């Protein structure tokens, strides 16, 4: 016989049952058994109450149904009971947008360390502009700048094929300057154009551009046009090719850049103002006519693939450049890379020369 939740008033009666089994009328035992078989709690308690009243006892107040005890694992002698682990239920408020989760491999907050979660301190080398190596073919090499320096009997020409690579890094110099959410960065980028297969011309480096810059970056966090405006970057940029005489090219500029994110898509917009030089020191006074005064860059990321585009434009002269790229997975941060460029300013020596280039190689992306 299984008795469930018997009222306190009937406990003396039940304890007395074994000792007085022979004296207790069978009808009482039968009635107790009938009550205990009732499944519904309220009906079972009411049955016991009726028996208690019938035998002169005062029925107790109905007891609240106890919560089920947590299940415990099987124990050996002397072992403490251990509750089975309960699987945590997902918090609806903490759910992640699958589009945002898919783009989590790159975020502007991580790239610029915009919050406490991503901060790594000062003087730590970090990725800046993409580092790549490509074998490229140029549609129309620019021979003119080099002709005055060639020997009279030299008949070699620039090769249409060359290796192009870009290397760079950035490093935080000051974190939370003046106890405000402002970081000061130093960045460096180098682009080289190497005529590696041009043995007739001794495989020269046709051009190398050096670009150091200082940047002041502060986080932003508000919506605009359905995207999240993430940061503001104010920078001082120098770019030169380290040459002398008529091959020398250089300029300095101040710029402002903002970054936006929307799911898998990230966008940066930049405008700049050239710092004027004296006429005798300026070897490319019309550089902004060709390099423009603003650029828009964007990257769309999906399943490890990255599709990028850069547009640069001077609306007064209608000159600028377009660059497209596709990076696809190979191994870890190393990705295959297809690259296309059309316009002015792929290198400083070609700032006023229209160039069209296509290339393939690898890029390292973190």
For the segment 104-128, what is each residue's pLDDT rounded down to a tens digit? 468 999 999 999 999 999 999 999 9
For 245, residues 6+ apart whose C-beta sits below 8 A from its C-beta are: none
In terms of domains, do 230 and 313 share one?
A: yes
| Same domain, yes or no: 44 and 158 | no
Q: Are both 205 and 275 inside the same structural domain?
A: yes
Residue 75 lies in a domain: no
Whether residue 246 is contained in a domain is answered as yes
Q: Say which residue, 70 or 117, is predicted with more confidence.
A: 117
Question: Which residue has tokens 């970054």?
Answer: 259
Cα gap 14→12, rounded to integer Å: 5
Residue 212: is its pLDDT beyond 60? yes
The per-residue pLDDT for 25 is 53
Q: Is the pLDDT reported for residue 6 higher than 80?
A: no
Residue 254: the pLDDT is 98
Structure confidence at residue 176 as a pLDDT band (50, 70, 90): very high
When mean pLDDT is compared across 50-54, 62-66, 320-324, the lowest value belongs to: 62-66
Cα–Cα distance, 309 to 298 (Å, whole number): 5
Q: Provide the token pair at 219.
A: 């986080």
Q: Contact at 8 Å (CB) between 234 and 192? A: no
**Inside any domain, residue 80:** no
Residue 49: which pLDDT band, with cuts at 50, 70 and 90?
Answer: confident
Asked if the structure places residue 329 within a domain, the reply is yes
CB 203 within 8 A of CB 162: no
* One domain, residues 228 and 339: yes
Q: Which residues are known to be catalytic?
A: 238, 240
Cα separations in angstroms, 206 against 142, 143, 362: 10, 10, 21
Task: Name residue, tokens 């008949």.
Answer: 155
Residue 296 pLDDT exceeds 50: yes
Cα–Cα distance, 272 to 295 (Å, whole number): 9
Q: What is the pLDDT of residue 45?
A: 80
Whether residue 179 lies inside any domain: the answer is yes
**Alpha carbon distances (Å) from 173 to 124, 126, 170, 231, 360:** 9, 12, 10, 18, 35
Is 102 found in the same domain as 48?
no
pLDDT for the residue 182:
96
Structure tokens at 90: 């997902």
For the residues 329-340, what does the mean pLDDT come to?
A: 96
- Assess if residue 92 is contained within a domain: no
CATH, residue 253:
2.40.230.10
Residue 145 inside a domain? The answer is yes
Local confidence band at 86 (pLDDT 50, 70, 90 cut-offs): very low
Summarised one tens digit per residue, pLDDT across range 272-295 is: 999 999 988 899 999 999 999 999
Do residues 178 and 254 both lie within one domain? yes
Kindly state the helix (H) or strand (E) to which residue 224 belongs, with its residue range.
strand 205-224
Both 269 and 357 in a single domain? Answer: yes
Q: How far apart are CA 184 and CA 125, in angstroms?
A: 14
Beta bridge partners of 222: 229
Question: What pLDDT is recorded for position 52?
Answer: 75
Are 27 and 119 found together in one domain? no
Same structural domain for residues 16 and 132?
no
* 150 and 288 together in one domain: yes
Return all residues near 330 (Cβ < 8 A) that are at least 6 apart: 336, 362
Question: Does the pLDDT at position 24 exceed 70?
Answer: no
CA-closest candidate to residue 45, choices 60, 30, 67: 60
With a CB cutoff of 8 Å and minimum separation 6, the contacts of 173 are 122, 123, 184, 185, 186
Q: How confident is the model at residue 325 (pLDDT cuts 50, 70, 90)?
A: very high
pLDDT confidence tier of residue 152, bands split at 50, 70 and 90: low
What is the pLDDT at residue 28? 73
pLDDT at 34: 79
Least confident segment among 14-28, 34-48, 215-229? 14-28
Could you tell me the pLDDT band of residue 56, with boundaries at 50, 70 and 90? low
Q: What is the mean pLDDT of residues 230-258?
A: 96
Mean pLDDT (the chain, rounded): 83
Question: Which residues make Cβ contacts (< 8 Å) with residue 120, sequence separation at least 6?
Answer: 113, 126, 172
Helices (H), the chain: 11-19, 26-36, 41-54, 98-102, 108-112, 287-291
* Domain that residue 186 falls in: 98-364
| φ/ψ (deg, to 5) at 101 | -65, -35
* Total of domains in the chain: 2
What is the DSSP annotation of 322-334? EEEEEEEEEETTE
304 and 222 housed in the same domain: yes
Residue 90 pLDDT level (bands cut at 50, 70, 90): very low
| Stretch 133-143: mean pLDDT | 95
In a domain, 109, yes or no: yes
Report whether 275 contacts 257 (CB < 8 A): no
d(CA 237, CA 252): 6
Residue 313, pLDDT score = 92
Q: In terms of domains, do 243 and 182 share one?
A: yes
């Amino acid at each position: 016989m299984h008795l469930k939740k018997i009222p306190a008033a009937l406990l003396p009666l039940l304890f007395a049952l074994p000792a007085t089994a022979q004296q207790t009328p069978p009808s009482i035992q039968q009635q107790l058994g009938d009550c205990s078989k009732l499944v519904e709690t309220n009906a079972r308690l009411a049955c016991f109450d009726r028996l208690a009243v019938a035998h002169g006892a005062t029925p107790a107040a109905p007891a609240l149904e106890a919560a089920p005890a947590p299940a415990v694992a099987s124990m050996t002698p002397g072992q403490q009971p251990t509750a089975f682990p309960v699987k945590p239920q997902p918090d609806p408020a903490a759910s992640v947008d699958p589009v945002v989760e898919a783009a989590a491999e790159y975020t502007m907050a991580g790239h610029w360390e915009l919050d406490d979660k991503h901060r790594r301190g000062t003087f730590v080398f970090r990725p800046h502009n993409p580092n790549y190596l490509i074998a490229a073919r140029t549609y129309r090499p620019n021979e003119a700048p080099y002709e005055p320096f060639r020997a009279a009997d030299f008949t070699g020409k620039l090769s249409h094929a060359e290796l192009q690579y870009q290397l760079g890094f950035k490093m935080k110099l000051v974190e939370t300057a003046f106890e405000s959410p402002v970081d000061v960065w130093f960045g460096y980028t180098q682009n080289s154009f190497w005529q590696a297969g041009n043995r007739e011309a001794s495989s020269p480096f046709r051009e190398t551009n050096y670009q150091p810059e200082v940047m002041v970056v502060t986080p932003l966090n508000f919506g605009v046009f359905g995207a999240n405006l993430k940061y503001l970057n104010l920078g001082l940029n120098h770019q030169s090719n380290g040459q002398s005489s008529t091959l020398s090219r250089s300029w300095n500029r101040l710029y402002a850049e903002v970054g936006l994110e929307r799911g898998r898509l990230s966008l940066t917009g930049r405008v700049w103002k050239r710092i004027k030089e004296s006429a005798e020191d300026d070897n490319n006074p019309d550089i902004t006519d060709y390099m423009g005064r603003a650029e828009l860059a964007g990257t769309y990321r999906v399943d490890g693939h990255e599709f990028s585009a850069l547009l640069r434009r001077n609306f007064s002269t209608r000159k600028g450049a377009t660059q497209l790229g596709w990076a696809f997975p190979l191994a870890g941060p190393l990705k295959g890379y297809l690259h296309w460029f059309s316009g002015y300013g792929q290198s400083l020596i070609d700032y006023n020369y229209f160039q069209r280039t296509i290339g393939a190689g690898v890029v390292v992306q973190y």
